Amino acid sequence: MTLALIPAAGKSTRMGRPKLSLPLGDRTILDHVINALQQASIEHILVVIGPHVRELGPLAESAGAHVLLLPEETADMRATVEAGLRWLEERFRPRDEDTWLLVPADHPTLDPAIVRQLLKVRAANQDYSTVIPTHRGKRGHPAAIAWKHVEGIKRLPSGLGLNAYFRQQTAQTLEMPVESAMVLCDLDTPEDYGEINRRAAH
């Protein structure tokens, strides 16, 4: 079983408006992310949203994803992800060897081929429990992670983010070099949005 978790409870402060509902071509940013995962045959996709962006719920559901609406805003990305992991665990009871993808919601250049490649590499390298795409030595998105790491994330001391946990997992992490710089692409500012739109138009 493969699950995808899309944390979408941020405030888009640098963008100045809710970025995930912005149009990109004939779809919203969020729709692009969900559609790419569907093209990669991901079985279950969960979008976690906060009460301040509840308008994303219908967008995600109409695109075919599950939605978890949090009752209050979360303090950070880790809290959002943990809420999503609890929901997935209660709903689908994943096994330790199952894979979940941590997918940034502001990653509209997500490539289904790279997602499929990540899952193929993870299945072929059982000594590694996390696979991360890289471009020219820089780590990108998304990460393919064995479900067994969920317990470790839960035990992480408060105040530490997810990156702190995964920095402890170097021996179990396999970096997968890719040609596409799009794995590094985030949508944070109006300038990022303009550049992604320009690329989409070509």
Among 50, 88, 86, residue whose Cα is nearest residue 70: 50
Residue 23, beta-bridge partner list = 28
What's the pLDDT at 14? 53
Contact 47, 34 (CB under 8 A): yes
Contact 173, 166 (CB under 8 A): yes
Residue 66, beta-bridge partner list = 46
Of the two residues 80 and 201, the one the predictor is more confident about is 80
* 2-201: CATH architecture: Alpha-Beta Complex (3.90)
Structural domain boundaries in the chain: 2-201
Residue 144, beta-bridge partner list = 101, 131
pLDDT in tens, 3-60: 999 999 876 555 556 778 888 888 888 999 999 999 999 999 999 999 988 899 999 9
Q: How many CA atoms lie within 13 A of 90 on its CB side?
A: 8
pLDDT in tens, 94-142: 999 999 999 988 888 899 999 999 999 999 998 999 999 999 999 999 9
